[in-house]
Structure 1
Amino acid sequence: MNEKARLLEAIAGKNRGLLATEMDRVRILSDLEQLEDHNPTPQTLEAKELLDGNWRLLYTTSKGILGLDRLPVLQLGQIYQCLRMADGKLYNIAEIIGVPFLEGLVSVIARFEVVSDRRVNVKFERYIIGSQRLLGYRSPNQLIEDIEVGKKFFPLDFNIESQEQQGWLEITYLDEDLRVGRGNEGNVFVLSKEKNI
């Protein structure tokens, strides 16, 4: 079995990390490191055509992301990171599902600056949270279009000014449909490229 298949098998059924035990996390990290050793795109940030688009989160160790699942009667739906390389922007979009009419959405918009062939500095600029229905949410692409034309969302849509809302992301593996990243807080992210969302 190759490294990519081994990692995908290890994260299968772990609900993006929510169901991973400590033993699972150790195994996944080992499989992830082996995959990184076989990165077909060593200078990941130069492969803009591969990076550009919408990516769905398959696995993470980020407590901030996984903590969104702790809301009563609601659970974490799909999570996307949408990269717009030409604009130097990324859109993190987490769908919250549950009781009808209570479906929610949490989105964080950031700018990024390439600082090496694998690393970007990230500055978070805007935070949007609310009901999918009230926000008129249909898809990640539609939300991004609304944001880019200047639409404001209620009840919570605000700019992030704090200097503490910065970090970095290193892309350690990239192929046509899988991306692995490591963040400044020690978190790992495994994402799959989405088609037409």
Structure 2
Amino acid sequence: MSKKAELLEAIAGKNRGLLANEIDNVKVLSAIQQLEDTNPTKNPLEAKDLLNGDWRLLYTTSKSLLGLDRFPLLKLGQIYQCIRVPQAKVYNIAEIIGLPMLEGLVSVAASFEPVSERRVNVMFERSIVGLQRLLSYNTPAKLIQQIESGKKFLPLDFKIDRGDQKGWLDITYLDEDIRIGRGNEGSVFVLTKEVA
């Protein structure tokens, strides 16, 4: 079995990390490390065609992302990280599943700056929170087009003070369909590229 298949098997049934216990996390992190050791893209930030696109989260240890699932009557839906390399922008989009007609969305837009061959500094700039139907949301790509066109969304659309942000992300594995990243808060992210 390939290292990639071993990782995908380790995260299967873990609902992006929501259902993972400590033993599961140890197994997954071990499989991630083994796959990272075989990274076919030594300089991921130079592989712009591979990096650019919409990525769906398969697994994370990020408590802030997984914490979106804690609210009563709400469940965490799909989570996307959409990278627009030419604009040096990244869009994080979390779908929230609720009562019919009350499905929500939490999105954060950021810019990034490469600081090494695999690390980017991330500066969060804007946050959008609202009901999917009020935002006319149907796909991440459409939402991003609206954001990039300058559209303002109700009820919550606000700038994030750049202040003392010190966020960064290392891209530790990248191929045509899997990306692994490690963030400044110790979180790990495993994503798969969405095919247009």
Q: TM-score, normalised by structure 1?
A: 0.98
1:35: which partner in 2? 35
1:67 alignment partner AA: G
2:104: which partner in 1? 104
- Quick check: 2:123–2:162 contact (8 Å CA) kept in 1? no
Question: How big is each residue's C-alpha offset from its partner over 1:161-184, in whole Å with a ceiling of 9 and x where there is no partner?
Answer: 142444000000000000000000
Aligned structure 1 segments of 4 or more residues deviating by more than 6 angstroms? none
Quote the offset at 1:195 in angstroms: 1.1
1:188: which partner in 2? 188
2:55: which partner in 1? 55
- Distance, in Å, in 1 between the alignment partners of 2:147 and 2:192 is 23
Question: What SS is found at the alignment partner of 1:20?
Answer: coil
Question: How big is each residue's C-alpha offset from its partner over 1:146-170, in whole Å with a ceiling of 9 and x where there is no partner?
Answer: 0011100010000001424440000
- Distance, in Å, in 2 between the alignment partners of 1:3 and 1:151 is 43
Question: What SS is found at the alignment partner of 1:134?
Answer: coil
| Pairwise CA RMSD | 0.7
Matches within 5 A, 1:30-179: 30-179=30-179
Quote the offset at 1:53 in angstroms: 0.3
Taking every aligned residue pair, what percent have the same amino acid on both sides?
A: 69
Count of aligned positions: 196
Quote the offset at 1:98 in angstroms: 2.1
2:5: which partner in 1? 5
- Quick check: 1:114–1:120 contact (8 Å CA) kept in 2? yes
- Distance, in Å, in 1 between the alignment partners of 2:74 and 2:106 is 13
Quote the offset at 1:71 in angstroms: 1.3
Question: What SS is found at the alignment partner of 1:133?
Answer: coil
Q: TM-score, normalised by structure 2?
A: 0.98
Quote the offset at 1:74 in angstroms: 1.0
- Distance, in Å, in 2 between the alignment partners of 1:166 and 1:90 is 16
- Distance, in Å, in 1 between the alignment partners of 2:195 and 2:5 is 20
2:71 alignment partner AA: L
2:124 alignment partner AA: F
Please list every run of 5 or more consecutive structure 2 residues that lacks an aligned counterpart in the other structure.
none
2:16: which partner in 1? 16
